[in-house]
A and B are shown apart, each in its own frame.
Chain A
Amino acid sequence: MDTRVTKKKLGLKERYAAMTRGLGWETTYQPMDKVFPYDKYEGIKIHDWDKWEDPFRLTMDAYWKYQGEKEKKLYAVIEAFAQNNGQLGVTDARYINALKLFIQGVTPLEYYAHRGFAHVGRQFTGEGARVAAQMQSVDELRHYQTETHAISHYNKYFNGMHQSSHWFDRVWYLSVPKSFFEDAITGGPFEFLVAVSFSFEYVLTNLLFVPFMSGAAHNGDMSTVTFGFSAQSDESRHMTLGIECIKFLLEQDPANVPIVQKWIDKWFWRGYRLLTLVAMMQDYMLPKRVMSWKEAWEMYAEDNGGALFKDLARYGIREPAGWKQACEGKDHISHQAWNTFYNYNAAAPFHTWVPSEEEMQWLSEKYPDSFDKYYRPRLEYFREQQQAGNRFYNKTLPMLCTTCQIPMLFTEEGDPSQICYRDSDYLGNKYHFCSDHCKGIFDDEPEKYIQSWLPVHQIYQGNCFKPGTDPTAEGFDPLMAVLDYYEMNVGRDNFDFEGSEDQKNFAAWRGEALKGEAK
């Protein structure tokens, strides 16, 4: 018998090199620039793509193995949750509204991220970057699917989740996340990386995933916690890739620094505006609170982000242009956003409510400088009116910011009593913005934002009615026609939580009487 020769196994480093390098080739019968038109035109200079290193040295074969194991665990938990009627174990049916926000506004972004990374994975000439982008593309698609699967269980029992994909392209407030990602994927591939891998994944996703998932855990929603953990291990990899990619760009050529800085300024601000939704979720939508938005901002943005930008200073990068204003907003944006959804709850497919006295007490403690002075009186007034049968529903459409597409709800820096108005003229047309930074983003590339699909303007242009709708017919109700176009179930998906079907069903399933009802 011959002696068995054991092949020497490759070390991690060699293995990574073997699985990621040498996978590309120089084209011969078509010029390289024609086959790869995208990785030069933004002005980013790359001299040596081999310097791109995946910090995890992750290769495709290892990737399938890890992800396969994670999927098995995740689906085991989701199944057990469903079999045990886990939806009855959450703290309160109000909590479900955080999940509605997630499936409506966050999950579709995973799909956009998948598309974006698939695109850059095809377009970069460097093989290491292409492999990393392709794996992230698969991750994002997986997140879209697992989140949809996990939340579909709740969809069997609660309203406000049945048309999330349809809503994403139509419902007014969902134009905010949608426009963020459409802006990113229609930029060049390097701008996309700075927007998503760096500004969003690295600087801001902690603020998204940690509060959402700890909120789920505190409120008894183990299914969501599990998809959160399953996604979070990928997110950590994405974050590390994000910082590596920015360092790679900065180290390749000093001429890249000002281009990257401009993108950081833009995408930090766009991401910060988008996270307004998370701020209100954290302070208002979790029956059991984890930490306030302000505390989360101080920990993840001011402390971690501050250290990051100090670290990047050696490349000539400074903190994003809107940093100071973003920090100032920590006392206000969650309250201002909740007020907006309370105003427009006839047209938003989730429920809102006035916080209980105990919850307001918590908000007073967490926001000693702002809550009692500016926000409590209006909430108390809303509560009085609601109890008197005069619940406020704002039915007149709001003015929107052309850049972030959020209603003009943000106040002036240093003066929470004044709405911040900014405007620009472009080719004889006027455009309005919620802040200096949204105005700056527009002024830099007006050609891009003059195409903004602003929901309010689209409604007034008659583009948000179903085909065959006749707005001149007698008794035509534009709001109802728009809600019909959204395919919202009026009276079930929308309006105040008090008196909602979700509230009644949840109480009935748990054998509880509603407050004020005789047992």
Chain B
Amino acid sequence: MSVVALKPYDFPMKDVRENFPAPLLYIGWEEHLMFCAPFCLPLPPDTPFGALATAVLPGIFGYHPDFARIDWDQVEWKKNGQPWKPDSAKSLADNGLTHKDAIRFRTPGLTGIKGSFS
């Protein structure tokens, strides 16, 4: 136990998978900080990864004028900070995504409003 306390210090984790209707996935769009922070979404693990680009992301990033210009074949992904190549035909789970993983994508050539990374 690293907490210095008078008595044993043992409390449950608040954010374990079982407490949510679906695993959480964090998603950020690099160099587009008009969206102030990455998003947090509960997503069923059998969602096909490809459905992110077509069904999930338009609703959350679509306001940005760059969004319609994204070439999804050029997009570079990272998972928990490491370069990563997801398979869009496979599900989130089959791509190895588990509860509270953070993924982010970079869209080469698109750097936000007037190149300001906004």
Contacts and interface: CB of A to CB of B under 8 A. Distances in A.
B81 A450 contact: no
A450 B16 CA distance: 9
B18 to A, nearest CB: 10
Given A416-B117, A432-B100, A446-B2, A460 B42 contact: yes
B75 interface: no
B2 A430 contact: no
Interface of A: 37-38, 41-43, 188, 336, 339-340, 343-344, 373-378, 380-382, 392, 394, 396-400, 407-409, 411, 416-419, 421, 423, 427, 429-432, 444-448, 450-454, 456-457, 460-462
A380 B33 CA distance: 14
B20 A461 contact: yes
Closest 7 CB pairs of A and B: A378-B118, A407-B37, A417-B117, A377-B116, A398-B37, A340-B36, A377-B114
B100 A41 contact: no
A461 B30 contact: no
Contact of B4 (A41, A339, A382): A41
B81 A423 contact: yes
A45 to B, nearest CB: 14
B38 A419 contact: yes
A430 B99 CA distance: 8
A394 B35 contact: yes
Category for how many chain B residues contact A: 35 or more
A367 B15 CA distance: 39
A430 B33 contact: no
A339 B2 contact: no
Nearest to B26: A399
Contact of A419 (B6, B16, B28): B28
B69 interface: no
Contacts of B102: 399, 421, 423, 430, 432
Q: Which of A188, A392, A397 has the most CB of B within 10 A?
A: A397
A377 B113 contact: yes
Contacts of B16: 429
Contacts of B11: 447, 450-451
Contact of A444 (B2, B14, B114): B2
B101 A381 contact: no
Given A399-B26, A462-B21, 11 more contacts: A38-B6, A339-B34, A377-B115, A396-B60, A417-B111, A419-B30, A423-B102, A427-B13, A430-B80, A430-B101, A451-B11
B9 A398 contact: no
Contacts of B36: 336, 339-340, 343-344, 394, 398, 407, 409
B19 interface: yes
Contact of A454 (B5, B14, B31, B104): B14
A421 B80 CA distance: 8
A513 to B, nearest CB: 32
Q: Which of A396, A416, A456 has the most CB of B within 10 A?
A: A396
Contact of A460 (B24, B59, B98, B118): B24
B53 interface: no
Nearest to B111: A417
Interface string B77-118: 000110000000000000000111110100000011111111
Contacts of A336: 33, 36
A396 B31 CA distance: 18
B4 A188 contact: yes
Nearest to A42: B4
A340 B59 CA distance: 18
B68 interface: no
Contacts of B113: 377-378, 380-381
B3 interface: yes
10 contacts: A41-B5, A43-B4, A339-B33, A339-B36, A396-B59, A407-B37, A408-B38, A421-B104, A451-B12, A451-B14
B10 A447 contact: yes
Contact of B40 (A343, A397, A423): A397
A37 B6 contact: yes
Contacts of B104: 419, 421
A411 B117 CA distance: 11
Contact of B2 (A392, A398, A445, A451): A445
A305 B38 CA distance: 33
B72 interface: no
Given A445-B2, A445-B3, A453 B33 contact: no
B24 A457 contact: yes
A397 B60 CA distance: 10
Q: Which of A417, A429, A432 has the most CB of B within 10 A?
A: A417
B13 A461 contact: no
Contacts of B33: 336, 339, 374, 378, 411, 417, 419
B20 A460 contact: yes
B1 interface: yes
Contacts of A374: 33, 116-118
Contacts of B3: 445, 447-448
Contacts of B4: 41-43, 188
Nearest to B60: A396
Nearest to B114: A377
Given A381-B113, A430-B99, A454-B15, A418 B38 contact: no
A423 B13 CA distance: 16
B35 A399 contact: no
Contact of A457 (B14, B38, B118): B14
B41 interface: yes
A447 B28 contact: no
